[in-house]
Amino acid sequence: MALFKKKTTKDESYYMASQWTLMWRKLQKHQLAKVSLVILAILYIGALFADFFAPYGLEEFSALYKNTAPTKIYWKDEDGNFTRPYVYGLTKVNDRATFTVKITEDTSKKYYISFFTEGIEYKLFGVIPTNIHLYGLVDEEGNPARDHNGKALARINIFGADSTGACIYSRILFGGRVSLTIPFVSAAISFVLGILLGGISGYFGGIVDNVIQRIIEVLSAIPSIPLWMALSAAIPPDIPVSAMYLYITIILSFIGWTGLARVVRGKFISLRKEDYVTAARLAGVSDIKIITKHLVPGFLSYLIVNLTLGIPGSILGETSMSYLGLGMKAPATSWGVLLKETEDLISVAQCPWKMIPLIFVVITVLAFNFLGDGLRDAADPYK
Amino acid sequence: MSEMKPIIQVKNLCVNIKMDEGLLTPVRGVDFEIYPGETLGLVGESGCGKSLTSKAILAINDKKCQSTGEILFRDENDEIVDIIALEKASKRREFLGFRKAKPGEADKKTAIRRLRTIRGKQISMIFQEPMVAFSPMYTIGNQINEATLLHITKDPVASKQITLDMMKMVGIANAEKRYDQYPHEFSGGMLQRALISMALVCKPRLLIADEPTTALDVTIQAQILELMQELQKELGMAILFITHDLGTVAKMCDRVAVMYLGKIVETGTAKEIYKNPQHPYTKGLMGSVHKIGTLKQDKLFSIDGTVPLALNLQPGCGFYERCTERIEGVCDKIDPENVCLGGSHCVACHRCKKEAE
Amino acid sequence: MTDQQKHELILQVRNVSKVFSSKGVNVKAVTNVSFDVHKGETIGIVGESGCGKTTLGRCIVRAIEASNGEVIYKTLAGEEVNFLTLDKKQMKPVRKEIQMIFQDPYSSLDPRMTVLDIIGEPIKANYPKMPKAEREAMVKDIAAKVGLNTTYLMRYPHAFSGGQRQRIGIARALILKPQVIVCDEAVSALDVSIQAQIINLLKDLQREMELTYIFISHDLSVVEHISDKVGVMYLGKMVEFGETEKLFANPKHPYTEALLSAVPVADPEVEMDRIPLKGEIPNPANPPSGCYFHERCSYCTERCKTEVPELREVDGRMVACHRAEELSLRGFDYSTVE
């Protein structure tokens, strides 16, 4: 992997290296950032191909599997010999002594774990129709463990099942689609607004600058959580939940650009005083060219750092909003929605596997923070 | 001066920095000694290792810099201490009583205490930028007084008096008023005076001046240089004067050591160095400066090329690539030895050695 | 160059002033500075920090706008124009004829551009239609002229040392074939041996390309070496202006005398006999009355305290001192030439 290739710094390629190459090299020296980058790549690939990696679709749940622990996988048969890994299905048993219904493993039939099995149909990238999943269960004849309606006869829930009986692992993957991408929507909006308004403010100065700065101050004084609550109440409930969430995010990012605009303005002002900008001006280079060729490339790397460090905030924001019931709502899935299951102590105590989505949130946030940290160190390779 | 004992003797001082790309050796075997009351000028261009040398003497280099060799300092009781050994002892990792001092090695705590009494009290330093040497949060008097309280007396009244006397001595008019002022209320020249008073308040035996006038204007520079000379006469301390400016060295120093790429290439009295430079680098350096009042040459003498980076250096003269008098096959293979040309004049150059023989 | 050409006036700086105002405080950085520049000359501007020499240089090239005054410039086309009042359209053809070399070889080159792009940028801006090959040929040509290895043009500035970077800066200033170059402390940030290389280069280029330099520096020995005429500035004003050797041998203004006496000569046998200056440089926001130098001057009279001395001609030199004729001041002794 080229990512881990070691390079000496003083060869000709170093001298001919552009800013981005230098940043990339410096980033590679930051071990944590490198690992984070790989982790994030895995998470995003997982979210992108969620249909494939997940054995079950979003609507596939089974009341039988409500709140069940991760499915036990057997490696040995009854005689103690190693065999293909298999699982048992579940069945309801009436306990005659206590008169309760118990759910136990149905040891009469084995279901084998198989890779690239057929499952529920989906469209890869929304176009290519297929029904192949990374793994699933098959019976002894190698047919998918489903009845003629396509309903699963037995399920393998490696992270256990939630209160609806859906596979938590599958839901994490699908939830990642929302939780990992929505922050980028708000980041993109902040990016454009921040550069535009910060740039105008920094370049023209004077009254324009003053007006924009005052607007920024007013906007940053608005508390975001109450605003979020109000918006989520105000938006009509008949639009789809994920669309509604997107709208709220967009509205909020119209407030969130202020910090970025300040950074841009500051960078603009300090870069404008650099000698090389004066030199370009003296050489007769036009204002537009100076902005696009000298100023914007000068602070672009800082912006990327700022954005990277801002994404964890958005992810956590989504998670906590959904947790509070203000953001996404089931049946739509996001990590926050998944965590909503852990609201009460009893469910955490009885079903600790419901905390697994939390691990994903923590890992993602840490990875973004470490990556941002590495990027910050690399942002100015000339020091 | 030969009957006098040197106040500090630096023997084969090396400073190494381990980097990803290899071993950086900014100081590679520096020897010199300074006698009481004299001024030694350490001259060289940026990156020659002169500042690291001075910091090694105070044992204040960065953690990643490792000094080896000997720095023998004669303290006020005529005892000789090796600063590098102390530094090593003070940095030794001791963990719950493991890795205790071996016999002959100083104990960690004693070493730290000893270093502290040497630093500031016996050896002190003036920095290049007086504006950043003071904290903007405290008054000037407060900051100078800190050293007095630490090293001389614990009595705040007596201490303040000593501080004020010192401030007057370095020519800060209206010292009582200035004592309570903050650094931003001082001009650059006045700040440098304050910095000097801070360095001298404990009457050190050795003063290290690292480019003390580079950031100052010519007229202020002249004032500060004169002040340092007067104070030296009065207090009798030795000065290690580090600079790249050949003009100030000529004014200030009794002896001069010229550094290039981490080594001293030529030492001698100021007169020997300026009137009869022997090393090709010294010659080049002298030729590069135009002296006002002399006939204008059309072209200044200049040394071609640039100072190489002291990374993974091979044996051989560091100046080889830029030298016009190099001997192929010798200068690029063998480290030149020091050759004495009579008096205190020594040169590290193969060509000079050949001629001397 | 014939003598007549050499004496052609190329730049007439007339009463240039620059006032910086912030929060109601006006600081006069440069006050009514005037001097003439002839073609092919080097004018040295010396003074201590805060004397306004850098501001003056930047006003002349219009890196900042002067508050007042004129810079009459004789263009290559032979017209006389006031460089400071040209509008954008008029400026376009003249802009390239007055260029600047900066002090800091690190901040004056955009680290994000290759050397080829940096040196070629002025060409791109002024001749946007020039084909790429032709532009690159020009860049190579000028790079070779300033002593850069032309095989390294695809490198970024971080691959170069301070001296080489300064050469890149010089190449960028020269590629448009300017007439006048303002060198703002062009060698101050460099090591002594590299300084000599750059000074020699500047002199060679001057001869070859018939350049006129305005050389701003605080280093008197460099200025003496390179300049034909020298202007001494104090607190935003020109106090003395004249031919280099005359000025250094026989200063007419007490400040020049004090400044010269403070220069340490690189010779341990020359005793420094400094003329002490009283006090410190006054705050430019609140300059003293009369002659700005009177508080520190040892020749001060009552007249100096009230009346502002004008820059006037004394013995073929411009001096701003009431007592210029009567005082006999000490300079460098040029008789003991080695």
Query: What is the domain-level CATH number for residue C163?
Result: 3.40.50.300
Is position C63 within any domain?
yes
**What does the pLDDT average to over B137-146?**
92
Per-residue pLDDT of chain C (338 residues; tens, 9 = 90+): 445 455 789 999 999 999 988 777 888 899 999 999 999 999 999 998 888 999 999 999 999 999 999 999 998 888 889 999 988 888 888 998 999 999 888 889 998 889 999 999 999 999 989 999 999 999 999 999 898 888 888 888 888 888 889 999 999 999 999 999 999 999 988 888 888 989 999 999 999 999 999 999 999 989 999 999 999 999 999 999 999 989 999 999 999 999 998 888 888 887 777 888 887 788 888 888 889 999 888 898 999 999 999 899 988 899 999 998 888 888 887 765 44
Residues contacting residue B23 through CB under 8 Å, at least 6 positions apart: B16, B17, B311, B312
* pLDDT for res B353: 83
Q: Which chains touch B (3 or more CB pairs under 8 A)?
A: A, C
Q: Answer yes or no: are the C-beta atoms of A91 and A106 closer than 8 Å.
A: yes
* pLDDT for res A382: 65
CA dihedral A104, A110, A111, A115 (to 10 degrees): 130
| The CATH classification of domain A37-46+170-378, taken from the options 1.20.1260.10, 1.10.3720.10, 1.10.579.10, 1.10.620.20 | 1.10.3720.10
C325 and C183 co-located in one domain: no
> pLDDT-derived band of residue A3, with 50, 70 and 90 as boundaries?
very low
Please check the confidence at residue A249 and state whether its pLDDT lies above 80: no
- Nearest by CB to C263, which of B45, B253, B292? B292
Question: Do the chains contact at C108 and A282, CB–CB below 8 Å?
Answer: no
C212 and C279 co-located in one domain: no
Decide if A29 touches B, using CB distance below 8 A: yes
CA distance B96 to chain C (A): 47
C22 and C101 co-located in one domain: yes
CA atoms within 13 Å, Cβ hemisphere of B124 = 21
Is position C182 within any domain?
yes
* Residue range B177-222, pLDDT digits in tens: 999 999 988 888 888 889 999 998 888 999 999 988 888 888 888 8
Please check the confidence at residue B1 and state whether its pLDDT lies above 70: no
* pLDDT for res B3: 56
Decide if A9 touches B, using CB distance below 8 A: yes
Please check the confidence at residue A6 and state whether its pLDDT lies above 50: no
> pLDDT-derived band of residue A9, with 50, 70 and 90 as boundaries?
very low
CA distance A7 to chain B (A): 9
* Of the candidates B250, A277, B221, the residue with the CA atom closest to the CA atom of residue C274: B221
Measured between beta carbons, the chain C residues lying within 8 angstroms of B275 are: 269
* Residue range A25-34, pLDDT digits in tens: 888 888 888 8
Look at A41 and C284; give whichever has higher pLDDT. A41
Question: Do the chains contact at C109 and A294, CB–CB below 8 Å?
Answer: no
Structure tokens belonging to residue C294: 């009177």
CA distance B191 to chain C (A): 12
Distance separating alpha carbons of residues B3 and A383, to the nearest angstrom: 50
Last residue of a domain, one of C169, C200, C233: C233
CA dihedral A190, A192, A197, A200 (to 10 degrees): 150
Query: In which residue are the tokens 């057929």 written?
Result: A118
Please check the confidence at residue B340 and state whether its pLDDT lies above 80: yes
Is position C133 within any domain?
no
* pLDDT for res B104: 64
* Residue range A281-312, pLDDT digits in tens: 898 888 888 888 888 888 877 788 888 888 88
User: How many of the other CB atoms lie within 10 Å of CB of A78?
Assistant: 9
C273 and C226 co-located in one domain: no
* pLDDT for res C119: 94
Q: Answer yes or no: are the C-beta atoms of B198 and B151 closer than 8 Å.
A: no
Question: Do the chains contact at A29 and B20, CB–CB below 8 Å?
Answer: yes
pLDDT averaged over every residue in chain A: 81
CA dihedral C95, C100, C104, C109 (to 10 degrees): 40
Question: Do the chains contact at B21 and A10, CB–CB below 8 Å?
Answer: yes
Cβ–Cβ pairs < 8 A, chains A and B? 6
* Of the candidates B198, B193, B188, B189, the residue with the CA atom closest to the CA atom of residue B138: B198
Distance separating alpha carbons of residues B272 and A174, to the nearest angstrom: 82
Q: Answer yes or no: are the C-beta atoms of A43 and A180 closer than 8 Å.
A: yes
Decide if A10 touches B, using CB distance below 8 A: yes
C211 and C277 co-located in one domain: no
Burial A23-36 (b: 16+ CB within 10 A, else e): bebbbbebeebbeb
* Of the candidates A154, A156, A152, A145, the residue with the CA atom closest to the CA atom of residue A70: A156
Q: pTM, whole model, 2 decimals?
A: 0.81
Give the 3-state DSSP-derived string for A61-84, with helices as H, strands as E and coil as C. CCHHHCCCCCCCCEEECCCCCEEE
* pLDDT for res C17: 94
Decide if B189 touches C, using CB distance below 8 A: yes
Q: What is the ipTM of this complex?
A: 0.86
Which residue of C lies nearest to B223 if distances are taken between CA atoms?
C276
Distance separating alpha carbons of residues A43 and A180, to the nearest angstrom: 9
> pLDDT-derived band of residue A4, with 50, 70 and 90 as boundaries?
very low
Cβ–Cβ pairs < 8 A, chains B and C? 129
* Residue range A127-160, pLDDT digits in tens: 788 888 888 888 877 777 777 777 777 888 888 8
Could you tell me the end-to-end alpha-carbon distance of chain B, in angstroms, rounded to an integer? 27
> Any idea how long chain C is?
338
Decide if A31 touches B, using CB distance below 8 A: no
CA distance B21 to chain A (A): 6
Question: Do the chains contact at C110 and A276, CB–CB below 8 Å?
Answer: yes
- The DSSP H or E segment spanning B34 is strand B22-34
Q: For each of the domains in chain B, give its residue range(s) and CATH number, in order of start.
A: 8-94+102-122+204-356 (3.40.50.300), 136-203 (no CATH)
Distance separating alpha carbons of residues A276 and C103, to the nearest angstrom: 11
C306 and C263 co-located in one domain: yes
Is position C152 within any domain?
no
Question: Do the chains contact at A281 and C107, CB–CB below 8 Å?
Answer: no
Total number of domains in chain C: 2
* DSSP helix, strand, coil percent of chain B (3-state; round to 5): 35, 25, 40
C106 and C40 co-located in one domain: yes
Angle between helices A241-256 and A224-234 (to 10 degrees): 140
Angle between helices C162-174 and C192-209 (to 10 degrees): 20
Please check the confidence at residue A1 and state whether its pLDDT lies above 50: no
Which residue of C lies nearest to A276 if distances are taken between CA atoms?
C108
**What does the pLDDT average to over A202-222?**
86
> pLDDT-derived band of residue B295, with 50, 70 and 90 as boundaries?
low
CA distance A220 to chain C (A): 27
Q: Answer yes or no: are the C-beta atoms of B124 and B203 closer than 8 Å.
A: no
* pLDDT for res C30: 92
* pLDDT for res C255: 93
pLDDT averaged over every residue in chain B: 86
Is position C82 within any domain?
yes
CA-to-CA dists, residue B12 to A371, B25, B84, angstroms: 44, 13, 11
Interface test with B, best of A6, A7, A10, A28 (most B CBs within 10 A): A10
* pLDDT for res C232: 95
C282 and C215 co-located in one domain: no
- Nearest by CB to A285, which of C99, C112, C125? C125
C307 and C269 co-located in one domain: yes
**Range with the poorest average pLDDT among A100-109, A224-233, C128-137, C246-255:** A224-233
Q: Is the peptide bond before A331 cis (omega within 30 degrees of 0)?
A: yes
Structure tokens belonging to residue B165: 């006397």
Which structural domain, as residue segments, surrounds residue C256? 250-336
Lateral strand order in the sheet of C68-74: C25-38, C9-22, C68-74, C80-82
Structure tokens belonging to residue B176: 């009582």
Is position C123 within any domain?
no
List chain A domain ranges.
37-46+170-378, 60-166
The full DSSP string for B246-294 is HHHHHHH-SEEEEEETTEEEEEEEHHHHHHS--SHHHHHHHHHSPPTTS
Measured between beta carbons, the chain C residues lying within 8 angstroms of A294 are: 110, 112
C211 and C99 co-located in one domain: yes
CA dihedral A176, A177, A178, A182 (to 10 degrees): 110
Structure tokens belonging to residue C224: 């003496």
CA distance A193 to chain C (A): 24
C225 and C254 co-located in one domain: no
* pLDDT for res B343: 81
C42 and C171 co-located in one domain: yes
Looking at chain B, the number of H-run helices and the number of E-run strands are 13, 12
- Nearest by CB to C121, which of A275, A285, A382? A285
